């Protein structure tokens, strides 16, 4: 579980080192259509049209449940109702302090608001962690998120960045949607933050966005059937049937308990809220039918492509900053629509299926290309350290991918900022001194039962 927290800072360092090497000149915006891409390739229909069997069901609902059990066994994903009544105090302390120490001791220069950050600047934050001593066993409490909330490395909203790039907050882990189940391990000294375990990671969360509940209440909510899954990039929730009093939006892949039908275009759902004296309760909310699907979508190449291309050109958000998505969240959102419960991080996502090919650092392009061309299109993932990509298919002898990425370098070594979900081939960045994406590809899987 601890490894989940440490991968994110490592990925930032790898990314910044790659994009901001000493040889790269100042940045500028990338073209909407990247090198090697034709306009027609920016449509799901193009890839559906060249797919050999776009409507083939890859896994049944029963098989998806089996795959999810395999994912929990292989990765850091947790089923929160089974997280347990207690955790060792030493374990909780190590989770909290390990990441604090890593931020301070194993990184490059840090800035916040243009000012240098050192351990001195973080003394008050460290004190607020309230982590000086723990009992031998920590009794866990449980709760749910009542409104969109960030998961943070430290109990603070302070943004801390590596120079020179300030789009990657080193303290940002992820974002929890309404209804996210939590195991609560610790509270900050001021009571404003809770250290929690969510399904995909540990982190600090704003306590005002959490309602305490019993394990049975939590389990009842997250296993509600019937349910809706959000299929739009973002879908607004409202407090009234006429959809005029907005609550907040939820993102693709979010599951909501369905409680009724209002009319031909509105569903009624329930969301967790704080009732009288902060007690657990649920309240009705309303959502447009066009933004959701009743139950999960079938797991077919067509569905994956349709959902992926609904996110085309949506902005990049490291660790869900600004309620957007990064490369691993993009993959998570798409596959959540069919009920597959991916981990949050790239290094674990590549464990979630049948391994098709694996490459060592000495593998040549002539070895990699033929192997990648054999991947089942639309339902396979390609991995390089710190980055995950959806394999779209091949045109000629070139593999094409869809991914949420930040930038590449052109022939003049100028960084071209993409900053969102895009379509490219595996030769993107080939003009950079760091080399093409293909150079660093290490593995690929088919998202199916191994």
CA dist 257 and 395 (Å) reads: 42
Shared domain check, 345 and 277: no
My answer on whether 413 and 288 are in the same domain is no
Q: Tens digits of per-residue pLDDT, 378-433?
A: 999 999 999 999 999 999 999 999 999 999 998 888 999 999 999 999 999 998 88
Q: Is residue 377 a part of any domain in this protein?
A: yes
Q: Are both 313 and 435 inside the same structural domain?
A: yes
CA distance linking residue 331 with residue 403, whole number of Å: 8
Same structural domain, 438 and 303: yes
Among residues of the chain, what percentage have pLDDT more than 90? 82
Considering the domain architecture, whether residues 274 and 412 belong to the same structural domain is answered as: no
Residue 12 belongs to a domain: yes
The tens digit of pLDDT for each residue in 92-132 reads 999 999 878 877 775 567 788 778 887 788 889 999 999 98
Instruction: Specify if 155 maps to a domain.
Output: no
CATH of the domain at 244: 2.30.30.40
Regarding whether 302 and 430 lie in a shared domain, the answer is yes
Domain end call among 274, 294, 314: 294
- Predicted local distance difference test score (pLDDT) of residue 108: 63
Crossing angle (nearest 10°) for helices 301-310 and 327-336? 130
Q: For residues 422 and 302, state if they share a domain.
A: yes
SS3 of 260, please?
strand
Q: Please provide the average confidence, as pLDDT, over all residues in the chain.
A: 92
Are 345 and 241 part of one and the same domain?
no
8 A C-beta contact, residue 103 and residue 144: no
Residue 351's nearest CA partner among 130, 100, 145, 73 is 73
Element (H, E) at 371: helix 365-373
Q: Which two tokens stand for residue 278?
A: 């902060």
Alpha helices in 266-355, H assignment, sequence order: 301-310, 327-336, 346-349
Note down the domain range covering 410.
2-67+298-446
Any domain includes 180: no
Please report the pLDDT score of residue 26 as a whole number: 65
Answer for the pair 392, 386: CB distance below 8 angstroms, yes or no: no
Looking at the fold, whether 250 and 263 belong to one and the same domain comes out as yes
Q: Name residue 417's beta-bridge partners.
A: 29, 407
pLDDT value of residue 253: 98
Please tell me the distance from the alpha carbon of residue 291 to that of residue 272, in angstroms, as a whole number. Answer: 20
Q: Which of 43-52, 97-106, 432-441 is the most confident on average?
A: 43-52
- d(C-alpha 139, C-alpha 387), whole Å: 36
Specify whether 270 is located in the same domain as 341.
no
How many CA atoms, within 13 angstroms, populate the side-chain half-sphere of residue 397? 7
Same domain, 278 and 306: no
pLDDT at 230 over 60: yes
Q: Does residue 130 lie in a domain region?
A: no
234-257 pLDDT per residue, tens:
999 999 999 999 999 999 999 999
Helices of type H across 44-120: 44-49, 61-74, 89-105
Looking at the structure of the chain, the number of domains it has is 2
**30 belongs to a structural domain:** yes
Look at residue 249 and tell me if it is in a domain: yes
Domain termination residue (choose one: 294, 312, 327) = 294
Distance CA(163)–CA(108), nearest Å, equals 8
Contact 418, 407 (CB under 8 A): yes
Residue 23 covered by a domain: yes
Show Cβ contacts of residue 17 under 8 Å, excluding neighbours closer than 6 positions: none
> For position 163, what pLDDT does the model report?
67
Strands of 380-384's sheet in order across? 25-29, 414-425, 398-409, 387-395, 380-384, 441-446, 354-358
Tell me which residue of 249, 242, 271, 246 sits closest to 258, measured CA to CA.
Answer: 271
User: In this structure, what token pair is assigned to residue 28?
Assistant: 């500028």
Within 10 Å of residue 154's Cβ, how many Cβ atoms? 22
Domain boundary pick from 248, 269, 294 = 294
The CATH code of the domain that includes 57 is 3.90.1720.10
Residues 33-47, mean pLDDT to the nearest whole number:
97
Percent residues over pLDDT 70 in the chain: 93
Q: How many helices (H) and strands (E) does the chain have?
A: 11, 26
Q: Are residues 345 and 434 in the same domain?
A: yes
pLDDT digits (tens, 9 = 90+) for 355-379: 999 999 999 999 999 999 999 999 9
Phi then psi for 248, rounded to 5 degrees?
A: -170, 175
């Amino acid at each position: 579980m601890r490894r989940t927290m440490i991968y994110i800072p490592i990925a930032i360092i790898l990314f910044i080192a790659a994009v901001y090497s000493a040889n790269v000149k100042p940045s500028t915006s990338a073209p909407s259509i990247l090198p090697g891409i034709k306009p027609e390739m920016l449509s799901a229909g193009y890839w559906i049209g060249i797919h050999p069997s776009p409507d083939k069901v890859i896994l049944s609902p029963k098989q998806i449940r089996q795959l999810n059990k395999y994912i929990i066994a292989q990765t850091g994903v947790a089923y929160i109702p089974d997280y347990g009544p207690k955790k060792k105090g030493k374990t909780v302390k190590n989770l909290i302090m390990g990441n604090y120490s890593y931020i301070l001791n194993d990184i490059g220069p840090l800035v916040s608001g243009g000012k240098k950050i050192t351990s001195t600047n973080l003394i008050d934050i460290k004190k607020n962690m309230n982590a000086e001593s723990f009992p031998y066993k920590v009794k866990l409490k449980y709760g749910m998120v009542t409104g969109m909330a960030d998961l943070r490395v430290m109990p603070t909203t302070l943004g801390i960045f590596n120079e020179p790039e300030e789009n990657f907050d080193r303290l940002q882990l992820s974002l929890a949607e309404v209804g996210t189940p939590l195991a609560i391990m610790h509270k900050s000294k001021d009571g404003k933050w809770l250290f929690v375990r969510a399904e995909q990671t540990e982190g600090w969360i704003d306590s005002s966005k959490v309602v305490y509940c019993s394990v049975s209440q939590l389990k009842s909510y997250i296993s509600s059937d019937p349910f809706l899954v959000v299929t739009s990039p973002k879908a607004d929730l409202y407090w009234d049937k006429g959809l005029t009093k907005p609550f907040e939006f939820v993102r693709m892949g979010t599951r909501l308990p369905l409680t009724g039908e209002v009319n031909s275009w509105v569903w009624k759902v329930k969301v967790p809220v704080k009732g009288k004296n902060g007690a657990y309760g649920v309240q009705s909310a309303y959502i447009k039918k066009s933004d959701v699907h009743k139950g999960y979508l079938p797991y077919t190449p067509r569905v994956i492509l349709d959902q992926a291309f609904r996110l085309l050109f949506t902005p990049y958000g490291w660790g869900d900053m600004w309620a957007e998505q990064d490369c691993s969240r993009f993959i998570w959102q798409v596959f959540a629509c069919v009920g597959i419960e991916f981990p949050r991080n790239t290094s674990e996502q590549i464990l979630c299926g049948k391994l098709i090919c694996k490459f060592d650092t000495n593998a040549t392009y002539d070895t990699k290309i033929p192997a990648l061309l054999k991947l089942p299109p639309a339902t396979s993932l390609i991995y390089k350290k710190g980055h995950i990509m959806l394999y779209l298919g091949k045109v000629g002898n070139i593999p094409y991918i869809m991914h949420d990425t930040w930038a590449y370098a052109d022939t003049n070594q100028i960084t071209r900022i993409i900053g969102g979900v895009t379509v490219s081939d595996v030769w993107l960045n080939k003009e950079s001194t760091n080399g093409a994406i293909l150079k660093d590809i290490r593995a690929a899987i088919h998202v199916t039962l191994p």
